[in-house]
Structure 1
């Protein structure tokens, strides 16, 4: 339709999204302010269209509960046609209650608002559960512009503190939160930190200027940083990059330079952790005593991934570990110990201000006109302390200002309150001329506007204990909120339970059974997902597809046969990936430093203090005792998880390590087949694994949900010993000659 009338405070100045962008241009339905500096709590989004011109439906952004649903008014009531252009009033509000980490402080609630829907899915009523990707309606009209919605995300004060980790201002904590950790890792490096240019220091060394313990180590001189820096450590698809930021004169953090950690560094984390741990053993041999306490590869792996130990692993008392990484600074490109006292360690879960996040709570008025001194200062283009209307318009098109606004979390009144006094307080400024509004709104027009606001409003109709009061809403920038929390892979018990197929070749289970298992295994699986799969959903699809067949959809951590009739005997499958054979259990012992068995009897009587066991298929027999009791891998959730992760990372193929390397290739049946061979080596449950993967992709990935059932064609697993499928890496395309039916039944209650 043609543009609505231009030049007033409510109807946009020109077509929304004229540039074809999904989020509207500044000043016209963008977050958080308009051209007239009016607060705007969400973003106007335009529905993308397919090749036939059909608009994509509006979908729920996450699992939640409907707390408000209003069908679009079909009576053409005048109040919805302010200034003779139609605005649809169809609306859905969803409360999302979930976890972003471990513990009560990471249990959060927030609300997503979908306004101006042309139609609302009829079955949506208050109290009904909805799930991520469920269709909730069709985009409608916003002041005559079709195919658009207003999308908004809000929360109350208590949940803001849980989501962000604080309730005001820049990040001031000396170290980051531990209950929620995701995304990039950040190091705040103070002025005076030593940088070593010549070579990587020994991991036992915290400062390579210290006197050396033996001839194996020689000290080296260092430069020191002359200002504070922030280092971002980013892991992504096998790579790890360290980027240095410094503060400019405007208080913003800008990139100085980046340093890659070497090709495939993430894929090689297991090998790197073992390399660094071995250096301690080498040092002790050189000194001729147990001079240095040796950290396990597992704890080193955790520090390399997160910059610190998170609790499931810890450096032994009295031990030292220098987390040496090569970074770029103006002083030098060299080695810095990121585990040095005084260096703060954080993650994206801390919403650090150096990553662009800000909390704006300095508007003391109750007006819909933005009175925030912070935002006005950002829009003060010429820096004279006075913000004219022309400057506002100009400022909203400056990239640096738009970047700041795009990550501003702001507290101001919701625009959907129906209360008359509230409307007068919020919108009364329109009746007076100002720099934001050169021409005041006539009284008759204000009456019409007030009726229009009330026709769209609904806030007082919602009764939910987590809903913030109308004048106490914290608003998140919608696009940045979604992009940010896509980095957080922590699954609630309900979300993990949806990953347990209710109908598959492995049998049928009820939702109650699925939820019981999901609740039991959520924490250890989340630890694996966060620490070893780098919160990549494609990797989780593959890991769970293999786990489901190994554990009979999380029914058991123990191989049902308990090794009777198999060469590995008492070293039968245990844990999430059913570790077998003594050599794998021994590798796990070394990886985590599992203590020797402290009692005389093992859980399985086939293992005694003198018994010997074939170490691997076809290998010579060795005595296992006094090593740990392998049954702890089945009975302790952390052992069950860490042993599976060790196997996943340590698996060698084509001269490489790490099954993540294969998982990153996608979810095609050929890749699923390749990973099935890596995990199992034989044909056991191969068809089940092929069936599990697309079911998991349906839940975890972003494709729209498919029909109730459909065929899947997949390649046969080649015979062990000469696997055609695995003859190349990445796996070559193999003709699909086998078929299994995928039943896409509801994975949810």
Structure 2
């Protein structure tokens, strides 16, 4: 294909020339590639933006952030500094501790406010008790009892049309002030302030932070409710995010040289002697490849593959081309091979044929480096969404005796420093601060009774009267006099525990015995998800009707998962911001024709032709193919009602021939795919058009230049169903992702240089503006509606970052 066409003239890009001929709605113009060396306006109708309001419905998206924000509101906001005590999942005296204590960051001598981690409903609020001497909360120093519990109902993926909807709760305890706006039964938005961190046993600016769920939702959140991940079948396909993992069974062949791209095996291979898991992690354009053992240790790491993510589309094309050069009867579809490289398997509608199309990667097994086929027989594929045990996730339960003492040998042995089968308090305190131990504890998802139930305190905590450290830091836990609490002291502790309790009053609808997550691990994990639900998209595309958003939303999510790797909210913000202008917030998936007056090669539009907006699937044909439908708008030089030229004819541009190509290949889909050149590229990508059926660069045929189609020697593509773009919501959205990654690959690079947060200072906003303009140019080859695109991108960022 020829190189990038030059920029358009100022006359064509001037905003004053891009006006609608309709008096009530302005006309949006967008440049699209025309024939070599020329560019065209693309246009659709739009309305001025309305002010955005944060709304809430039952299900919000899994867009999540920590309970404390840094000064610049960064996406990697501070979770808070972990306090010296109050660790997860065990605390002092080896008792179960369902959350962690966090110290509020101090900014300008003030402690940061506690904030909601995700959209939700406040299901419980207890205002803090005023401080007073002799109160039960003054046990070992004052402890604030202000408490807020938020229920989060969210979506993390979908199987076909069935969304995976989950529910979890976040608990914020030891607040010394709760804002009046926080009201039980009312919605609260992510990052909304809740109140101020209080005191825990005399220590200031601390909170207890907890994330919990019940059995049913645990299985939805991480794919199982017990044991280790089943490695004998592929992982879940409803939700896929983060690092991809490919399980290699014992005996997998590792080859010293990479075989041909269309060959599933090689020569002189060496068999692996242990089960391995190859991790593929895309990191701002590069590809990181690690090899893990089943126990989670890293067997080997390869140097980052420079541009491994940016080049994924091209690499998939090379595999397809290798099959074509081999002149084999079956050639895999480019889109399916792209998914094979991206996900390790195919998740979309285009089948991978042949099914054994190879996926070669060079790995380090720990004993050798070499090439393995990640799509060989007996491999299985997973992602971080499966919460794999080799990635540090482990499910534990300890609730048979209904007390708060950790009796699991696994944890006690982990903290047994001298391996004498006795875990003293001193050992536990030292070991629990060990970084490797902390890493392991972060991945534990534990089922045990809440510590906040007011009843049965004697039953749940009575062991404190029977066990203790025996005085000396290294002594065994003992009985009788050297207990943690004496019979005389226990009632005071019991009153303290009752004063802090809230479980019966909160009545949040899950059992007293439930699952607990390390809250930091939970937030880090699900911040990779990025699946947009009804409510989240509603808050971004505010001017779109519910039924229109829902028609496209699931496939919008699948598109961003496929092409943008949606753990990047910055990429998603730009994609949605640009798409808001391209598709008029999903409202315009077919380019409008206009009615008016034709004068020779000029057409003066007066109003939209309503027939051009009819769903072509309902029509049963592409609009313009039936007599009387084509009035010449697309094949003429277009003017608005004031006589101002807004775009040239679509004939003999962008690969189009003469009529009826101008209307046949009008803009369709999320990114308004336009012209025979782009249609043919996408058709080949999806496997709908055989490349051998037409000649490459047909627009360079001298007779094309002479506009004489009948005498052309180079064969142009034949596409009889251009309306296929809008036949399904998936096709509509997928064309947009493909155009961005396949036809405008420099766009992602530009986006990745953006700030990973909402710009706040004048300098940051200026930098953000310049980058948004560059993204606009990378997509369009011009700066059409650059300020509208910037504004829409900022609106998406405000919601997502």
TM range (shorter): 0.7 to 0.9
SS of residue matched to 1:100: strand
CA distance in 2, matches of 1:96, 1:21: 18
Which of 649, 668, 676 aligns to 1:582? It is 676
Which of 789, 793, 797 aligns to 1:689? It is 789
SS of residue matched to 1:102: strand
Indicate conservation of the 8 Å contact 2:344/2:374, yes or no. yes
Indicate conservation of the 8 Å contact 1:365/1:371, yes or no. no
**Judging changes above 3 Å, is the alpha-carbon distance between structure 1 residues 202 and 361 closer, same or farther for their aligned structure 2 residues?**
same
CA shift for structure 1 position 339: 0.6
Q: Kindly provide the CA deviation profile for residues 458-502 of structure 1, in whole angstroms up to 9, marking residues without a partner as x.
A: 1112344xx3211x21000011111111111111111122112x4
Report the equivalent of 1:743.
none
**Judging changes above 3 Å, is the alpha-carbon distance between structure 1 residues 143 and 560 closer, same or farther for their aligned structure 2 residues?**
farther
Indicate conservation of the 8 Å contact 2:169/2:212, yes or no. yes
CA shift for structure 1 position 302: 0.4
Question: Between Structure 1 and Structure 2, how many residues are aligned?
Answer: 622
Report the equivalent of 1:431.
465
Q: Which protein, 1 or 2, shows the higher relative CO under an 8 Å CA cutoff with sep ≥ 6?
A: 2
Report the equivalent of 1:127.
185
SS of residue matched to 2:100: strand
Which of 106, 115, 126 aligns to 2:173? It is 115
Indicate conservation of the 8 Å contact 1:183/1:347, yes or no. yes
CA shift for structure 1 position 362: 4.0
**Judging changes above 3 Å, is the alpha-carbon distance between structure 1 residues 130 and 514 closer, same or farther for their aligned structure 2 residues?**
farther
CA distance in 2, matches of 1:41, 1:81: 20
CA distance in 1, matches of 2:700, 2:264: 43
CA shift for structure 1 position 681: 3.1
Q: Does 1:46 align with 2:103?
A: yes
CA shift for structure 1 position 261: 5.9
**Judging changes above 3 Å, is the alpha-carbon distance between structure 1 residues 673 and 621 closer, same or farther for their aligned structure 2 residues?**
farther
Report the equivalent of 1:7.
none
Contiguous gaps of at least 5 residues in structure 2: 1-77, 470-476, 594-611, 613-632, 639-647, 651-661, 691-697, 710-714, 756-767
CA distance in 2, matches of 1:686, 1:111: 41
- List aligned pairs for 1:432-511, cutoff 5 A: 432-435=466-469, 436=477, 438-464=482-508, 467-470=509-512, 472-500=513-541, 502=542, 509=543
TM-score, structure 2 length as denominator? 0.74
**Judging changes above 3 Å, is the alpha-carbon distance between structure 1 residues 304 and 91 closer, same or farther for their aligned structure 2 residues?**
same
SS of residue matched to 1:124: coil
SS of residue matched to 1:642: helix
CA shift for structure 1 position 619: 9.8
CA distance in 2, matches of 1:618, 1:70: 77
Q: Does 1:324 align with 2:363?
A: no
Report the equivalent of 1:380.
416
Indicate conservation of the 8 Å contact 2:86/2:92, yes or no. no
Q: Does 1:36 align with 2:93?
A: yes
Q: Does 1:266 align with 2:323?
A: no
Q: Does 1:392 align with 2:428?
A: yes
Once superposed, what is the RMSD of the aligned Cα atoms?
2.4
Which of 184, 196, 205 aligns to 1:147? It is 205
Which of 335, 353, 369 aligns to 1:298? It is 335
CA shift for structure 1 position 38: 0.8
CA shift for structure 1 position 582: 1.1
Report the equivalent of 1:339.
375
Report the equivalent of 2:585.
553
Q: Kindly provide the CA deviation profile for residues 88-137 of structure 1, in whole angstroms up to 9, marking residues without a partner as x.
A: 11111011111111145721110000111111121222221111111111
Indicate conservation of the 8 Å contact 2:99/2:519, yes or no. yes
CA distance in 2, matches of 1:660, 1:21: 29
Report the equivalent of 2:574.
542
CA shift for structure 1 position 75: 5.9
**Judging changes above 3 Å, is the alpha-carbon distance between structure 1 residues 120 and 278 closer, same or farther for their aligned structure 2 residues?**
same
Report the equivalent of 1:60.
116
Which of 226, 251, 255 aligns to 1:192? It is 251
SS of residue matched to 1:443: coil
**Judging changes above 3 Å, is the alpha-carbon distance between structure 1 residues 382 and 329 closer, same or farther for their aligned structure 2 residues?**
same
Q: Does 1:629 align with 2:721?
A: yes
CA distance in 2, matches of 1:187, 1:589: 30
Indicate conservation of the 8 Å contact 1:114/1:152, yes or no. yes
Report the equivalent of 1:739.
none
Of the structure 1 ranges 68-77 and 481-490, higher mean CA displacement relative to structure 2 is found in 68-77
- List aligned pairs for 1:707-726, cutoff 5 A: none
CA distance in 2, matches of 1:310, 1:684: 35
Report the equivalent of 1:650.
742
Q: Kindly provide the CA deviation profile for residues 505-558 of structure 1, in whole angstroms up to 9, marking residues without a partner as x.
A: xxxx3xxx5544433322111112111101111111111111000111121212
CA distance in 2, matches of 1:98, 1:330: 40
CA shift for structure 1 position 658: 3.9
CA distance in 1, matches of 2:189, 2:549: 17
Report the equivalent of 2:66.
none
CA shift for structure 1 position 382: 2.7
Indicate conservation of the 8 Å contact 1:292/1:319, yes or no. no
Which of 659, 665, 670 aligns to 2:747? It is 659
CA shift for structure 1 position 77: 7.4
Q: Kindly provide the CA deviation profile for residues 684-714 of structure 1, in whole angstroms up to 9, marking residues without a partner as x.
A: 322211211111111111xxxxxxxxxxxxx
Which of 164, 173, 179 aligns to 1:106? It is 164
Report the equivalent of 2:605.
none
CA shift for structure 1 position 559: 2.0
CA distance in 1, matches of 2:728, 2:500: 54
TM-score, structure 1 length as denominator? 0.79
Q: Does 1:137 align with 2:195?
A: yes
Q: Does 1:402 align with 2:438?
A: yes
CA shift for structure 1 position 84: 5.2
Report the equivalent of 1:747.
none
Q: Does 1:254 align with 2:342?
A: no
CA distance in 2, matches of 1:128, 1:577: 38
Indicate conservation of the 8 Å contact 2:333/2:350, yes or no. no
CA distance in 1, matches of 2:274, 2:782: 57
Q: Does 1:176 align with 2:176?
A: no
Q: Does 1:675 align with 2:775?
A: yes
Indicate conservation of the 8 Å contact 2:589/2:670, yes or no. yes
Contiguous gaps of at least 5 residues in structure 1: 1-19, 209-219, 285-290, 503-508, 597-611, 702-749
